[in-house]
Amino acid sequence: MRVIGVSLLIAALAVSISGAAQPARTKILLDTDIGTDIDDAWALGYVLKSPSLDLLGVTVSDGDTAQRARLACKLLAKFGRTDVPVAVGRRTPAVPADRVDYQFAWAEDFREYAPIATPAAEFLSDVIHRNPNQITLVAVGPLHNIGDLVRKHPDIVPLVRRVVLMSGSIGASEYGPAPVAEWNVRLAIPEAQAVYAAAWPLTIVPLDSTSYVRLEDQERERVRKAGTPLTTALETLLRLWTDRPAARMTLHDQLALAEAQEPGRFFGRCDPLPLIVSMDGFTRVDRDRGHAVHVCLEPKRDEFMTHFVAQLTAR
């Protein structure tokens, strides 16, 4: 009996130690404008393969949000994650573009998994209320849904653990020596102003960092050769997006999600800066009026890409 008792004690300790060795996964909500640029789809795939992120839902913003939601639903289904709800944000006016969104064709007839009926802002509010101080909110598109959340449910702000945005332009980037009115900000300026001014822990990954990180051919080939349902779907969408042989995906959204997954690891600096969003869509440093925002700069491109490809291709 004594031997059995000792054995049971050892087994219980082993279970306890094993459980203690497993860190809690970070609960996240992802807000995306999937379907125009290609990085959104690959960012969703990256989240789905993360061992440390627990995706509680996807919300969709900008333009024809129902069409974007269908694309997100099909990608989730391809990975067997129909447990992840997709909520549709309000439709906004279409923005003239210089390219056709062929990614939508991939999901135009898909009906096996549908978005939920709850509007995006209400869904975000519901999930955050059920998980107070546990949710990291990641937004990688125009901020219509997050702005609606702040405006309609201001009580939510202190309940959010952290907000991470692919957003803004502070200084020089791959695109030029001066800051620009970054796409995700200028398409929803009033909403961006509300999000940047809210009293929650806010981190942005701006063009100053993301514009320097592109998928090279050998990295794309590693993903293609993985041959999983998810990587096959991502390669298909990349081919639909590519409009010329020289086109390369810039990993804007993936870097924001990497910051949510492993804060600070893939950047040389994450400095707090007092930022405001101007009426013309610029993210400006303003010592008098700005709200403290952590800005991720100096991307560690090679370290991140090694991690990104490995996570995406893991079986």
Amino acid at 69: A
Contact 161, 28 (CB under 8 A): no
Contact 38, 249 (CB under 8 A): yes
Give pTM, 2 decimals.
Answer: 0.92
Annotated domain spans of the chain: 25-313
DSSP state of 214: B
Spell out the per-residue pLDDT of the chain, length 315, in tens.
444 454 444 444 444 444 455 678 999 999 999 999 999 999 999 999 999 999 999 999 999 999 999 999 999 999 999 999 999 999 999 877 656 689 999 999 999 999 999 999 999 999 999 999 999 999 999 999 999 999 999 999 999 999 999 999 999 999 999 999 999 999 999 999 999 999 999 999 999 999 999 999 999 999 999 999 999 999 999 999 998 878 899 999 999 999 999 999 999 999 999 999 999 999 999 999 999 999 999 999 999 999 999 999 998
d(CA 133, CA 275): 24
Enumerate the β-bridge partners of residue 27: 54, 135
DSSP calls for 126-193 = HHHHHSTTTEEEEE-S-SHHHHHHHHH-GGGGGG-SEEEEE----S-BTTBSS----HHHHTSHHHHH
- Which of the following CATH numbers is that of domain 25-313: 3.40.50.920, 3.40.50.10490, 3.90.245.10, 3.90.1300.10? 3.90.245.10
Q: 191: burial class by Cβ within 10 Å (0-12, 13-18, 19+)?
A: buried
